[in-house]
Structure 1
């Protein structure tokens, strides 16, 4: 069972998201918060698998709440909900340890896919949010395809395979099965990739893979 704490200051949004998540019998919303401070306390109390967090909330904004929640319960994955026009917040959320980004007005199925993905240790990026993130990172980031491809070209073929599958949102276990590797080996590859490429987390790795247009290897 994937246990979720849901945080949004609008009760109608929480009700809608809760109804979407209820469609999956393997997902349970264990608590709800209407502000960032309440979210942190609920994460500390429940130690959920996933905290589904709105960026803009009263008392303590979603990004600050995400950072505090990560410190209170490092095992809890942060999945951020956003709307159009919040690109600056999305870029900042990368540094808060967020494992994924969803668009509130996107396909409801993305909530189920995203919660499952981050609970299993993968990064999840709504396709439309991913495109905006790439644009918002600016010339010094991962914006231009040519630059991304140049960085990726320095990797070994196996490292590129792992990176491409990170970009596709696969977990370590799924990557291991796809590439016929031990899961421990995949963890080592991921750690090495983040260090070699100067990336902070799996989300940035997924963004780089997408910007470089890496295609997952055929199994």
Structure 2
């Protein structure tokens, strides 16, 4: 009888400590960089496309905020690696890999990503049946890809919008989406904005504005 009671207690304990199965899917898009003139791949065999290996490139990107909260995703980590590679004059990253180490009570989680920065003499071709939108390869790039003038406009616009609690994009039933023009201090149509500043500036502002708003909300939560 005692053995039966012990077995029942053990069974209840094990059942109570069980965890449901779950999946976490990470997808890192390499194709999105094609329009910006850089080729990214996790493989290294490109004998048909001669290249010069410029050097290893790696990044250790730490989370911010709570130790058990991932503040970066694998795409953002690759974005950082792409920026660094392009700054070194590379037009490709091969052998790319990334890995996430969760945080603990005493340490922050972090991503570690690495690859080889290369310069292709002839860029590998992307099959024609893979569609790449005009926006891909632009809206993910940070301010580092803009020239000095556009970078200043981007930073000024985001700073002004955040300080004055304004939105970058406003919608109207007559003109559709309107984008804030820092020079005129008013929202103007997309076509007019792009003709004045370029669509790369618009994409950069959109990305930086979203990041700034996210950081603002996180700071507010930490104060509460």
Task: Give the TM-score of the pair, scaled to structure 1.
Answer: 0.26
More strand by proportion, 1 or 2? 2
Pick 1 or 2: higher relative contact order, CA cutoff 8 A, min separation 6: 2
More helix by proportion, 1 or 2? 1
Task: Give the TM-score of the pair, scaled to structure 2.
Answer: 0.25
